[in-house]
Structure 1
């Protein structure tokens, strides 16, 4: 028998930990249609039941103010799971039960998983699960998701609810005489007209109208404009009355009564304290140091530097191993296949292209592992808290910090979910300033490029340079935000309040799952999007081929070398003065040099070569030659393509016949590259136009006008910075 379950709960309540505990590796991650919000689904088999579990986004309420709240509620009403497991943090039970109240009002079959019982106990709290179950009249199972305690009882309880008591029965909570009467009047109109009754219970619809729920109001206008307008007019009268008499709007009254309902339950002995609740808990003691105004930022920078030191130190050997593997694979293909288009595509287009991206998988994996530790331990929330003081100086909001971090503020994120995360900002101007500057962060797509150039030209101090370029990304983004907030997006900053979750020891299981999820997305992108773009760019770098007369010129040069060498060999053999092995090597080197000159000429003549050459006279101001231009143009599609395109361009156009090895080695030994060019290229790549997917996301979240502004402004800004660095560095002879 199949059962559908859903996990719902506040952020930091342990929902994802429980999901990983129940499903393990039997899960997949996607996005809700049209919205970049994680959609996780997993499965398990228990007592002959095949159970599908959906991990809903963490949310504090069921009122659709954010994308997370929207998709959580829509999933419940559209998919109608057999049971909803409501994860409640036992150590913060009052706040967590607010969502529980809304689930009960919606009428979903609920089982409360009372998580973090160990944390509550450590804080001197005793939470009586059985008494809470009696008072709320829903099953309550105490668990500790991190250790797996209570899992068997939880699954049994879920199956019992799903198979014997899976009725959708809305719970009635009183909101005072005035609002209760208003709700009754609204319910009568809703039921008489069968209004939205196929989606929501009538009382729930009435409450959402009083809460001024935008999504539900829009649905009402679509369902029946006349009835929807009638309900809205009635609610306006109620709101005006409550504002006149109580100086408060209905949604505030509803929130107050929900908390009153929760307190009335908790004060009946559900929670007791064994000792003084005013004492500093462990997390509070740690925060006195880690979030200290003076020491906190220093520790934060040390943690960030340690992350890069760990990443580069531990990934160096496996990265070198993968580079050797792809080099060996290219050699095998070279020896097995005859010269021709197929061989060129496999070696230059696929192995040197995609192999260059996949070679950084170990580095990406270690970086994601380190970030997962910071995230799961609760430290990233402290970073956001501390950064709020700095963000205010630049006209941003404390809530802007998490979009920056998600976009790659510590490295390895993605600008798309970072842009989507700006939805939590209530001020339109702060939101727009954040949305336009998060693409400056070093997302996971830029990391391989940074690692390539830093490893090639600053190998002895890789972690230090990565750390400095990360700080540079933050500084540039903040100054850009200050420019926006002082010109096109003027406005006063809004207040910032943030919950700091308790510190926790991350579980190895959770760390491995988070690391694998993100690493797999990187590998998947390299094997699909990057592979396709690499092959396309290989074709653009191959066709059209050189005209026949130019090819014949190279052929004549080879024939002349062979003829000259043959005659010279004959003369010296007759004189007994010849070393044949040295002759053969000399001829091989000369012919290989001509082959490479021919390949480079063919690359210049191709479509990509012509485009790169056309821009060269301009881009030389920043130190970029025509081959680098080809890679940078490819980076408009996806930043990882820069590595694959450089790999293709510098394998197809290699001039030095004796030079072999990794892409980094080829760049290091190329006459057009040096340390100043590398820094110039790094700065340009970090700050020029966001990738195509990010541009589309900016357009969806704002408008195409702002999307094109981001593309144009970022590219011009990045090129000016890169040019300044190259010109100054060259003048000071730092290359």
Structure 2
């Protein structure tokens, strides 16, 4: 509950350099991870839909006489501990590990982003506000008063562009100069009843622990009946807190936010954006799902139609490579057993997985384009009704969709789901999705047994796997509901509610897409290549040994 002012010293360029721990926090889709990557050179996954970062990532870089240790925290809308992301972020921010908080906000949506900002200021730790996505603000014909905004908030405000890498030095300069400047925690003045209760709880907290510095934040959370804070603060405030004041506190924060936005946002225009026009089609109640099926069908068509044409070139190169290796082995008089192992086992086996590399690359390229453009969040919204019928939230569709790329990150993405049952059921059905490792098998079997109908057969395998997963979830939900009704006959089954941000559509970033595709291809080759290599050697040994083999 106290702020740690002790600094770690490290040797830098012959001098003693100061190490600062900086927490990057902000709403989902605000550009935190992109900004983190711009500073550290890391290649974390960046996508234009919520829930990408599900645990904190760390990186470091040097700037002047400072060594900055950056932590990319999960995107959250508030410091109220409901979801896993909120718990991870709040626990880190409340700890003594962070020296300065960088609040990365979407400048095009100040009203929503400033709620978290006000909560961070109330915590009492040094905060620097990074206004990201200023280009969208300019495109809308609006301006933000960068002089008045820091005056109203009481913290430094820096305009940055994570994608264009502008304002980065200014942001770190502000961080280094405000590392020990603590904001006025009374940025929001509540009504007399709430302020009186905050004062009473603050006094009680100080009496219990005189070392506490951010008492106002804890007092407000106790008034909201925050379960984690109530457990961490072993003081009795039942005579002060007679009810939960969370709704009143939220309302008064948004009243202040409206005043701030009204004063700092210039030339605000109420006009239909391109995003709204596109959403009226892509998220249509009737046509939304058929459009999604059509888009994914087109993705699979590209995967096989274009991929197969490129695959022929790969096969030619690998054939020439195999001949070249065989000739080289014959030149050095390599024995027939070793030659067969290298040519028939290793080269042929690894070559098989490489021939399907074009299919994998095109699939990941298409998925990266859809993610970065902002369409994937719409898929969650469109599929919510269907997912509810099988007992899942629309959010569960994102891990399932990731399962078409790779099952491992898809299972990890299930951690973003708030409900434990949703997480377990999503993990259960994700393996039914046809991941990229299954594509070679689909293509191989389709080509061998279905001839000219190979594309249709392979696509059918995807659909069958998807339907089987949904059916499994449906059966599991029915079993759960019966068990719940047996325990509590009068209670009705819980209906999953979806609350998700639909981000602005944007032009996909070529760098982000290339990194995403390369990292997935590299992971595919390293995992599948290792497995295929071992399997090829084992299979060669089985085929070439025995009564008719070399032994």
Shorter-chain TM-score category?
0.7 to 0.9
> What residue number does 1:338 align with?
335
Residue deviations 1:256-306 (CA, integer Å, cap 9, x gap): 232233223223x1124454x2x3211111111222223333322221122
Cα distance change, pair 355–76 in 1 and its aligned pair in 2 (3 A): farther
Q: Residue 33 of structure 2 is aligned with which of 16, 38, 62?
A: 16
Q: Residue 281 of structure 1 is aligned with which of 273, 278, 289?
A: 273
> Contact 2:400/2:430 (CA < 8 Å) preserved in 1?
yes
Structure 1: where are the runs of 5+ without partners? 221-227, 243-248, 555-593, 600-735
Q: How does 1:49-448 map to 2 (within 5 A)?
A: 51-78=68-95, 80-148=97-165, 151=166, 153-169=167-183, 171-172=185-186, 173-194=188-209, 201-216=214-229, 220=232, 228=233, 230-231=234-235, 233-234=236-237, 238-239=240-241, 241-242=242-243, 249-267=244-262, 269-275=263-269, 277=270, 279-316=271-308, 319-323=311-315, 328-329=321-322, 331=326, 335=330, 337-339=334-336, 350-406=346-402, 408=403, 411-415=404-408, 417-418=410-411, 420-421=413-414, 423-426=416-419, 429-448=421-440
Q: Does 1:512 align with 2:514?
A: yes
Rg bigger for which structure?
A: 1
- Secondary structure in 2 aligned to 1:8? strand
Normalized per residue, the structure richer in helix is: 1
- Secondary structure in 1 aligned to 2:24? strand
- Counterparts of 1:417 and 1:360 in 2: how far apart (Å)? 22
- Counterparts of 1:319 and 1:191 in 2: how far apart (Å)? 70
Q: Does 1:37 align with 2:33?
A: no
Q: Residue 525 of structure 1 is aligned with which of 503, 524, 527?
A: 527
Cα distance change, pair 107–312 in 1 and its aligned pair in 2 (3 A): farther
> What residue number does 2:441 align with?
449
Cα distance change, pair 178–480 in 1 and its aligned pair in 2 (3 A): same
Cα distance change, pair 73–325 in 1 and its aligned pair in 2 (3 A): farther
Q: How does 1:580-599 map to 2 (within 5 A)?
A: 594-595=548-549
- Secondary structure in 2 aligned to 1:396? coil
TM-score between both structures, scaled by the size of structure 1: 0.61
> How large is the Cα RMSD of the aligned pairs?
3.8
- Counterparts of 1:413 and 1:68 in 2: how far apart (Å)? 22
TM-score between both structures, scaled by the size of structure 2: 0.79
> What residue number does 2:466 align with?
474
Cα distance change, pair 522–63 in 1 and its aligned pair in 2 (3 A): farther
> Contact 2:76/2:85 (CA < 8 Å) preserved in 1?
yes
Residue deviations 1:432-462 (CA, integer Å, cap 9, x gap): 4434323322233333433443355456455
- Counterparts of 2:481 and 2:76 in 1: how far apart (Å)? 29
- Secondary structure in 2 aligned to 1:446? helix
> What residue number does 2:500 align with?
498
- Secondary structure in 2 aligned to 1:499? coil
Q: Post-superposition shift, 1:377?
A: 0.7
- Secondary structure in 1 aligned to 2:237? helix
> Contact 1:283/1:502 (CA < 8 Å) preserved in 2?
yes
Aligned residues: 513
> Contact 1:87/1:114 (CA < 8 Å) preserved in 2?
yes
Structure 2: where are the runs of 5+ without partners? 1-16, 47-51, 483-492
Q: How does 1:500-649 map to 2 (within 5 A)?
A: 500-526=502-528, 530=531, 535=534, 554=547, 594-595=548-549
- Secondary structure in 1 aligned to 2:436? coil
Q: Post-superposition shift, 1:159?
A: 1.8
Cα distance change, pair 545–446 in 1 and its aligned pair in 2 (3 A): closer
> Contact 1:27/1:42 (CA < 8 Å) preserved in 2?
no
Q: Post-superposition shift, 1:504?
A: 0.6
Deviates more, 1:500-509 or 1:166-175: 166-175
- Counterparts of 1:323 and 1:115 in 2: how far apart (Å)? 46
> Contact 1:20/1:510 (CA < 8 Å) preserved in 2?
no
> Contact 1:106/1:170 (CA < 8 Å) preserved in 2?
no
> Contact 1:62/1:99 (CA < 8 Å) preserved in 2?
yes
Q: Name which structure has the greater RCO, CA cutoff 8 Å, separation 6+.
A: 2
- Counterparts of 1:196 and 1:334 in 2: how far apart (Å)? 75
> Contact 1:8/1:58 (CA < 8 Å) preserved in 2?
yes
